[in-house]
Every structure is written in structure tokens, then in C-alpha cells.
């Protein structure tokens, strides 16, 4: 990224108010956008510790000429009484996160719902209004005559003229161009036509998601929440604005009773957020079996246990990083009137992913997966592409013991080998890993986010290839996450057998009926693999070069 412009007397000032805000990524997003669009502005954070003085903070910012503000917790509702005007959909949602300067004060908008919609549409989700099934003007009649809803809808769809899913980028075969393509992947995304949505949660994120459903013409919504009363309150608020929407409320424990044959699931709670990555909002197999696609508003980790369940069933699911990206881009467009291109959005995302992933853990990539998934081959190729060092835990064990893996299994058994494996992994963490958590890493001031994000994204690390059974011990799974970004190379039993058919050096595959052994071992290990994985990359029918490219993109290394 080019160096930021020098700040001068004509530089416009934007910022964020909230408390605490040391963890914010907003300066990174907006200062990167300013650099990419050649805008003479600077964005910083303004912590407001005293909630009783939020009005003073807004008046002071206006008096000092601050052109626009973002608002984060706990003030998204508290700022509303001090606004000169408010967008109607933001009023109905009951929260604003973007303030635009007007002649008499700030006007409040909510771009969270815009960010969610754009994130979904950029990955191929098609909503009813986009297909002409619902007349948008008629369906939004309760809010007609006000600029907010339709303007915001247009903003979400025009944030990037290069990245609008419908119309402009539609191909003759019905495929669409996604943000993934704009990030450099050679992919066409098959549209997912959504008629039903299930929300998990009834808090602030769920409110934005629920109203988003109304603005895109969806008629069928179910809200799952631990507290039914809170879910019913949200349903009533949505129905007040969108009376034609059929909304059902269920306790989260009844997730398996969702009546739709297929649906888009939007996970809006903090369940599964780092460091509590072993948590999951529901374990209902019926629920996951019916999911058409899923979105988790959490972006740390990239693959929560919720998304892991979706991915295991071969369905598409996405983490919340693109919602974070697009809500910021929507705010930037409200402030500046500048249209952000798809290429610029992809560049900001790369900066964001790089800082998010490298700011919380050491700058390493750890490859995990079943035998035959290509961890050593891909590890070597990835390290070569990155100009990094490559280490293989099995090779380190062989060097340290003077024995082959087969000899260790023969002499000391699998238990003895696993003990050596854990000790080796602990030594690697001590030497090259990080024991810091995301919150500890986030204590740096927000003003330094842009420069430090660039520095860490470009810093060298190590690519580690690990043994196929290293995930079996719980302590190993924790150590792997401390060692670096864990990438699971996901492989089918059929591909394993095809690749290892003539390999007789694998201790656990000795004897007849290899397919049965592989399927049994995969079944036992699958949950452990996904528990520690930050990113899952399928390797069936892919060359090492293709897998390497996907890993680099998914870990923000391009």
C-alpha cells in the first residue's frame, strides 16, 4: 500500500466514537480506502469513556469540523437523541453506526445491514427483490417518501460498480462474479436463491439482519434465541415495518423444528468467538442438514464450529469479515460520495485479513490434515512462494530420535510416538509461536493500526507441516493455534486411498481393507481437525499449485 498523504490544513477528519475502542479495525479500513481513492482525509479513534457525555462528544466533534463519525458499542442507540436527522431504517432498527455531517448537525445511518447484504450478495446469494418477485417500492411502502431505505439499498448495490452480483456481472450461464474473483481467484459462483432465513440470536446484529431481510423482499423468517421473549420483541419490531413478513419465533433448543426444507442461516451471537472457539449455538443435525447456506457474523476465528458443521455437509458458509468490510465501505461512500471499485474493496480486505490474522498470533502458517492430504508437498511449495522457511514435525522427530516414524511406532507404540509429538510441538511453540490472545494483541492504540498492519502482513514467518494424528490430543490442538494460523487440508477417504495405494510405510494403514481403516480414522479425527482449524481448504482434485494459491488468498498472503 502506498504511503499515506501528509496531513495538512485542508485534510478532512473522520473518526470513531465508542468505549473501549483499542481493538477497532475502522482506522485500518478507512485510511486504506483514503489512500486507494486519493482522498485527502484522515480517520482516527475518539474514545468516549463517560456515557453521560456522549452528547458533548458529538457537539464537540461537530464544532471542531469533524466531517463524519462511526459509532460503536455502547453508543449505537445512545447517540440518537443528539442527531439532527436519522435515516428511517436506522430509526426502526434502533441503532446507528454512521454519522454524516449536515448543516445543522449529524445525520445517523445504519450500514450494518447494508454490509451484511453486500457480503451475501457478493458471494452469490440472490434475494427475491433482485428477481422481480417483489416490487421494492411497494414492499417498502411503510418507509416510502424518505430517502433512507431506497437510497441505502442503492448504496449497498452501488458501493462497487465492479462487484454488484446481479445484472452487471451476470453471465449467460447464470453464474455471477463474486468478491472472491476480484481477490484474484478464478471462480464463478453459482447463485443461491434464498426464500427463507433463520436468524440465531436477537441482539444488535440480529436486529440489523432482520431488517435487512425486510429490505430485500424476504417473506419468511424464523428467529431462534435462548430467550423467546426477546426474539418475539424483535419479531414485533420487524413486523411493524414489514407487516407482510411471516415471522416465527422458537427457543434455540428447538432449532431442529425449523419448518423450512432449506434456508439461509445467519448466526448473530458471540457463541464461538475467540478464544471460546469450541462453543457452538446448536448441535441439531436436522438443523444443519437443512441449511442452504450460512453466514456467521463472527470473523475471529474465520471458521467457527458453526461454520465447520456447515462446511462438513458440503454447503457454502462465510465468516463476518466481509460484513465488516462492506459496512465500512458503505459509510465511506456516504461521507465522500466516492464509488469504491471491486479491486479497491479486495485490496482493503487483504489489509484487513492480514492485520486480523497476524495481529492475534505469530506470523506462521500451520498445515494440518489427514495422511495423504499433501501437507509436506504443499508446505514446501507454499514456503517457496512466500520466501519463508519450511519445517515438518515428522522430520524433526526423525532427526531428534534417529528413528523413522515406523520404527518409533514399532518400538514405543502409538502412545509413545504421541508423547514425542507433543513435546516437539511444545518446543516449536516456545521457539516460534505466541501465547498471546487476541485481546492482549489488541491493546496497541488504534492510530497505529494501518502501519502495523502493513508491517505484520509483510513479515516473514514459517510454514509448518504437521503429522496427520497431531490433533488427537487436546493440548496439541491448543498448541497448534499458538504456533500460527492453522489451515486444514480437507481430503476425502477415496482420495486418500488413491494417493497412498502403494505406500506401505504408514503404520496405521498396515493390513487389509485400507478404505475401511481410512474412513474409520477420518471419522474419529474430523471433529478435532475442524476444532483447531482457522481455515479449511479442500484438496480433492486440486494440484499443489492451486491449493497453495487458495491458502495464500485465504490467509491474506497475496
Task: For residues 125 and 194, give the distance between their C-alpha atoms in angstroms, rounded to a whole number.
Answer: 7
| Residue among 48, 52, 115, 102 at smallest CA distance from 81 | 52
pTM as predicted = 0.64
Phi, psi of 266 (to 5 degrees): -120, 115
* Catalytic site includes residue 107: no
- Three cell numbers at 118? 453486500
Task: For residues 226 and 203, give the distance between their C-alpha atoms in angstroms, rounded to a whole number.
Answer: 11
pLDDT for the residue numbered 466: 96
pLDDT for the residue numbered 362: 63
Q: Specify burial of residue 206 (Cβ count, 10 A radius: 0-12, 13-18, 19+).
A: buried
pLDDT for the residue numbered 502: 62
Section 397-409 average pLDDT: 91
pLDDT for the residue numbered 182: 41
Task: For residues 326 and 111, give the distance between their C-alpha atoms in angstroms, rounded to a whole number.
Answer: 8
pLDDT for the residue numbered 511: 59
Query: pLDDT digits over 301-345, tens only?
Result: 888 999 989 988 888 999 999 999 999 999 999 999 999 998 899
CA 530 to chain centre: 16
Question: Where residue 454 falls among pLDDT bands split at 50, 70, 90?
Answer: very low
CA torsion through residues 512, 513, 518, 523, sign: negative
Low-confidence winner among 21-25, 46-50, 126-130, 136-140 (lowest mean pLDDT) = 136-140
- Asked if the model's pLDDT at residue 140 lies above 70, the reply is no
Query: pLDDT digits over 422-452, tens only?
Result: 999 999 988 887 644 322 332 332 333 333 3
Average pLDDT, the chain: 82
- Three cell numbers at 373? 492430504
Query: pLDDT digits over 334-361, tens only?
Result: 999 999 998 899 889 888 877 766 555 5
Task: For residues 472 and 419, give the distance between their C-alpha atoms in angstroms, rounded to a whole number.
Answer: 11
- Residue pair 37/3 in contact (Cβ under 8 Å)? The answer is no
Section 91-101 average pLDDT: 95
SS3 229: helix
Question: Where residue 549 falls among pLDDT bands split at 50, 70, 90?
Answer: very high
- Asked if the model's pLDDT at residue 418 lies above 80, the reply is yes
Task: For residues 538 and 470, give the distance between their C-alpha atoms in angstroms, rounded to a whole number.
Answer: 19
Cβ-Cβ contacts under 8 Å for 522 (sequence gap 6 or more): 370, 493, 496
Q: Where are the domains of the chain?
A: 12-111, 114-325, 362-554
- Give the single-character DSSP code of 189: B
Among 5, 12, 76, 454, the active-site one is 76
Instruction: Give domain 114-325's CATH superfamily.
Output: NAD(P)-binding Rossmann-like Domain (3.40.50.720)
Task: For residues 435 and 429, give the distance between their C-alpha atoms in angstroms, rounded to a whole number.
Answer: 8
Query: pLDDT digits over 518-546, tens only?
Result: 888 888 888 888 878 888 899 999 999 99
First to last CA, the chain: 12
Task: For residues 251 and 224, give the distance between their C-alpha atoms in angstroms, rounded to a whole number.
Answer: 5
Cα–Cα separations (whole angstroms), residue 226 to 208, 260, 266, 270: 18, 20, 15, 13
- Asked if the model's pLDDT at residue 265 lies above 70, the reply is yes
pLDDT for the residue numbered 141: 36
* Angle formed by the axes of helices 514-532 and 474-483, nearest 10°: 60
Same fold, 12-111 and 362-554: yes
Torsion of CA 379, 381, 387, 393, to 10 degrees: 20
Task: For residues 69 and 99, give the distance between their C-alpha atoms in angstroms, rounded to a whole number.
Answer: 5
How would DSSP label each residue in 248-290?
Answer: EEEEGGGGGG---SSEEEEE-S-TT-TT-TT--S---HHHHHH
Q: Please give the biggest Cα pair distance in the chain.
A: 81
Q: Specify burial of residue 398 (Cβ count, 10 A radius: 0-12, 13-18, 19+).
A: middle
- Asked if the model's pLDDT at residue 147 lies above 70, the reply is no
Query: pLDDT digits over 351-389, tens only?
Result: 887 776 655 556 799 999 998 999 999 999 999 999 999
Task: For residues 44 and 63, give the distance between their C-alpha atoms in angstroms, rounded to a whole number.
Answer: 17
- Asked if the model's pLDDT at residue 53 lies above 60, the reply is yes
Cβ–Cβ contacts within 10 Å for residue 9, how many? 4
| Residue among 95, 101, 100 at smallest CA distance from 79 | 95
> 12-111 adopts what CATH topology?
Rossmann fold (3.40.50)
- Three cell numbers at 336? 465522500
CA angle centred on 280, ends 279 and 283, rounded to 5°: 130
Q: Which of 92-101, 445-454, 514-523 has the highest mean pLDDT?
A: 92-101
pLDDT for the residue numbered 79: 97
- Asked if the model's pLDDT at residue 174 lies above 60, the reply is no
CATH number among 1.10.3720.10, 3.40.50.300, 3.40.640.10, 3.40.718.10, domain 362-554: 3.40.50.300
Task: For residues 285 and 278, give the distance between their C-alpha atoms in angstroms, rounded to a whole number.
Answer: 17
* Higher-confidence position of 202 and 173: 202
pLDDT for the residue numbered 504: 57
pLDDT for the residue numbered 445: 27
Q: Give the containing element (helix H, strand E) for 220.
A: strand 220-225
Amino acid at each position: 500500500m502506498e504511503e499515506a498523504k501528509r496531513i495538512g490544513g485542508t485534510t478532512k477528519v473522520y473518526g470513531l466514537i465508542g468505549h473501549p475502542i483499542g481493538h477497532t479495525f475502522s482506522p485500518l479500513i478507512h485510511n486504506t480506502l483514503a489512500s486507494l481513492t486519493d482522498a485527502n482525509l484522515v480517520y482516527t479513534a475518539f474514545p468516549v469513556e463517560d456515557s453521560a457525555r456522549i452528547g458533548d462528544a458529538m457537539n464537540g466533534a461537530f464544532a471542531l469540523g469533524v466531517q463524519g463519525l462511526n459509532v460503536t458499542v455502547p453508543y449505537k442507540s445512545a447517540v440518537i437523541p443528539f442527531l439532527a436527522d436519522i435515516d428511517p431504517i436506522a430509526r426502526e432498527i434502533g441503532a446507528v453506526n454512521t454519522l454524516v455531517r449536515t448543516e445543522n448537525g449529524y445525520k445517523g445511518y445504519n450500514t450494518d445491514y447494508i454490509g451484511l447484504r453486500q457480503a451475501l450478495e457478493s458471494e452469490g446469494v440472490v434475494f427475491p427483490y433482485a428477481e422481480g418477485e417483489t416490487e421494492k417500492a411497494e414492499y417498502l411502502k411503510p418507509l416510502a417518501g424518505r430517502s433512507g431505505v431506497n437510497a441505502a439499498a442503492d448504496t449497498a448495490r452501488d458501493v462497487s460498480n465492479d462487484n454488484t452480483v446481479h445484472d452487471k456481472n451476470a453471465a449467460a450461464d447464470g453464474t455471477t462474479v463474486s468478491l472472491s474473483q476480484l481477490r484474484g481467484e478464478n471462480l464463478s459462483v453459482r447463485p443461491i436463491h434464498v426464500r427463507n432465513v433463520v436468524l440465531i440470536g436477537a441482539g444488535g446484529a440480529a436486529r440489523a439482519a432482520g431488517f435487512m431481510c425486510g429490505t430485500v423482499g424476504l417473506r419468511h423468517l424464523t428467529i431462534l434465541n435462548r430467550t423467546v421473549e426477546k426474539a418475539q420483541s424483535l419479531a414485533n419490531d420487524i413486523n411493524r415495518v414489514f407487516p407482510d413478513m411471516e415471522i416465527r419465533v422458537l427457543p434455540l433448543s428447538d432449532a431442529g423444528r425449523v419448518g423450512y426444507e432449506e434456508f439461509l442461516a445467519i448466526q448473530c451471537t458471540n457463541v464461538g468467538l475467540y478464544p471460546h472457539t469450541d462453543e457452538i449455538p446448536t448441535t441439531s443435525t436436522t438443523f444443519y442438514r437443512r441449511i442452504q447456506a450460512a453466514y456467521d457474523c463472527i470473523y475471529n476465528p474465520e471458521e467457527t464450529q458453526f461454520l465447520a458443521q456447515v462446511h462438513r455437509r458440503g454447503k457454502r458458509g462465510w465468516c463476518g469479515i466481509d460484513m465488516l468490510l462492506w459496512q465500512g465501505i458503505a459509510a465511506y461512500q456516504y461521507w465522500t460520495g466516492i464509488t469504491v471499485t471491486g479491486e479497491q474493496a479486495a485490496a482493503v480486505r487483504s489489509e484487513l485479513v492480514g492485520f486480523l490474522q497476524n495481529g492475534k498470533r505469530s506470523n506462521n502458517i500451520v498445515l494440518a490434515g489427514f495422511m495423504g492430504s499433501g501437507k509436506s508437498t504443499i508446505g514446501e511449495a507454499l514456503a517457496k512462494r512466500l520466501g519463508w522457511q519450511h519445517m515438518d514435525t515428522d522430520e524433526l522427530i526423525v532427526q531428534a530420535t534417529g528413528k523413522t516414524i515406523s520404527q518409533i511406532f514399532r518400538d514405543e507404540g502409538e502412545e509413545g510416538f504421541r508423547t514425542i509429538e507433543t513435546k516437539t510441538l511444545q518446543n516449536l511453540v516456545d521457539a516460534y509461536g505466541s501465547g498471546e490472545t487476541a485481546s492482549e494483541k489488541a491493546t496497541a492504540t488504534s492510530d497505529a493500526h494501518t502501519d502495523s498492519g502493513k508491517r505484520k502482513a509483510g513479515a516473514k514467518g514459517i510454514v509448518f507441516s504437521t503429522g496427520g494424528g497431531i490433533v488427537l490430543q487436546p493440548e496439541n490442538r491448543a498448541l497448534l493455534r499458538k504456533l500460527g494460523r492453522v489451515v486444514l487440508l480437507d481430503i476425502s477417504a477415496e482420495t486418500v486411498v488413491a494417493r497412498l495405494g502403494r505406500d506401505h510405510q504408514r503404520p496405521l494403514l498396515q493390513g487389509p481393507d485400507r478404505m475401511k481403516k481410512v474412513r474409520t480414522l477420518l471419522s474419529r479425527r474430523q471433529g478435532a481437525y475442524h476444532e483447531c482449524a482457522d481455515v479449511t481448504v479442500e484438496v480433492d482434485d486440486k494440484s499443489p499449485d492451486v491449493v497453495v494459491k487458495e491458502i495464500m488468498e485465504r490467509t491474506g498472503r497475496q
